[in-house]
Amino acid sequence: MALASLNRLRPLRLFLTGLRRRWLEWRTGISIDPSCSISLSSRFIAGQPGGIRIGPDTLIAFKTLLDARDPATGTVKPIRIGEKCFIGGGSMIMAGVTIGDQVIVAAGAVVMADVPSHSIVAGNPARVVRSDITVRRFGQLEVAIENTRRLWRP
């Protein structure tokens, strides 16, 4: 019952996140693919147009920070996020970082170096915990999909 009532708000959420994406692109010059899902509480500091680029089918969770300005020198170093990635809640992506395709960044991770494709990173500073993974849209693992099908009963 509660799930059905929450699903009625989905069109409003999609409208608000789409509006925010367009505003970020217009105001700060961030390049965000239309298929991305971005939390309303995530923060972006681009520093210049094109400072942050986010690939398709990527999910950026709540209270994340993407900061393209280098705190030591004050210069702008671009951030690039690949496709089918998941950026966990409360994580920070620092200046000059390139995140490959199909990457999961754990909640609370502080990413200060480049992340290779098909991997999971966690910690402060973020380290590769697992590699050679395959994910679907929004960084969803294949195992999670199978478990959901097996355990979900409408």
Residues 6+ apart with CB under 8 A from 113: 97, 125, 126
pLDDT band at residue 2 under the 50/70/90 scheme: low
Residues spanned by the domain of 109: 2-151
Half-sphere exposure of 105 (CA within 13 A, CB side): 39
The sign of the dihedral angle between the CA atoms of 115, 125, 59, 25 is negative
pLDDT at 48 over 90: no
Label residue 122 left, alpha or beta by phi (over 0 means left) and psi (-120 to 50 means alpha): beta
Number of separate domains in the chain: 1
pLDDT band at residue 3 under the 50/70/90 scheme: low
pLDDT at 1 over 90: no
| Residues facing 38 on adjacent strands | 60
Phi first, then psi, for residue 80 (nearest 5°) are: -125, 130
Query: Could you read off the pLDDT of 60-80 as tens digits, one per residue?
Result: 999 999 999 988 888 999 999
The amino acid occupying position 102 is Q
Rounded to whole angstroms, the Cα distance separating 53 from 79 reads 6
Region 110-125: mean pLDDT is: 96
State both tokens at 97: 């970082």
Q: What is the CATH number of the domain that holds 83?
A: 2.160.10.10
Rounded to whole angstroms, the Cα distance separating 74 from 119 reads 30
